[in-house]
Amino acid sequence: MRTPEQVREIVRLLLAEYPEAACSLDWRKDYELLFSVRLAAQCTDERVNQITPALFARFPTLEAFAGADVTEVEQYIHSCGFFRAKARDIVACAQVLLEKYDGELPRTMEELTALPGVGRKTANLILGDVFKIPGSTVVDTHCIRLSNRMGLVDDLKDPVKIEMALRKLLPPESSSDFCHCLVLHGRAVCDARKPNCEACCVRHLCRHFSG
C-alpha cells in the first residue's frame, strides 16, 4: 500500500496531467448518460458514441424510450453487443424512471442500483458526473488495473472491495475526477499488456515501477 502522502501526490499529479478528465461518452440529458453507460458494457465508448446520435434522435424523450418496441431499439444498438439485454434494460429503465421518479434520475446508490441494468459502477458515474456527489468512485477495468499496479490497493480484483478501499484513500472531492484520470492514463500510458513507465508522471510513486 502507498502511504497517505504518496496517495495524495499520485492524485495531485494525475489531476494535473489530465486537467480536462471527464467521461468520454457523449450525452446531453441525464438519462442519456445512464443509457450510454449501459450500452458501453463489454463495448468501447467510441462505438457507443457512434450509435447513440441515431438512437437518441429516434427516441428523443424518456417517454419515447418507455413506449419503444424493444426489437426496434435492438436494431439501433446491435453493434454494441449483448444488444437484446441492453435494449430490454433501457426500455424497462425508462418506464421505471417515469413511473417512480417522474422522469428524473434518483440521487442515491440504493435507488440507482435498483434500476434495470444499473450496477455500482454506473451508479457511481451518475452520482459523480451528474450530481457531483463527493466520494463517488467509478471502478472500471482501468481503475482495477492501475490501482493494483500503483499500490493503491493490495492485489484486489473485486470491484466493490476496490471501491471501498479507494473511498478510504482518495479525497472525496477529487475521487470522481481521479477515476476519470485513471481511464485516460490507462489508455495513454499504463497499457494492460505493456505499461510505458518511462512516460508515466507517477512512476516514482508506483509499486510496479519501483518493484
Supply the residues annotated as catalytic. 121, 140
Q: Which three cell numbers stand for residue 204?
A: 516514482
Who contacts 132 (Cβ-Cβ below 8 Å, separation ≥6)? 176
Q: What is the pLDDT along the chain (211 residues), one digit of tens a residue?
A: 899 999 999 999 999 999 999 999 999 999 999 999 999 999 999 999 999 999 999 999 999 999 999 999 999 999 999 999 999 999 999 999 999 999 999 999 999 999 999 999 999 999 999 999 999 999 999 999 999 999 999 989 999 999 999 999 999 999 999 999 999 999 999 999 999 999 999 999 999 987 6
Domains of the chain: 4-21+136-210 (1.10.1670.10), 30-130 (1.10.340.30)
Collect contacts of 191-197 with beta carbons under 8 A, ≥24 apart: 192/141, 192/145, 195/149
**DSSP code at position 81:** S
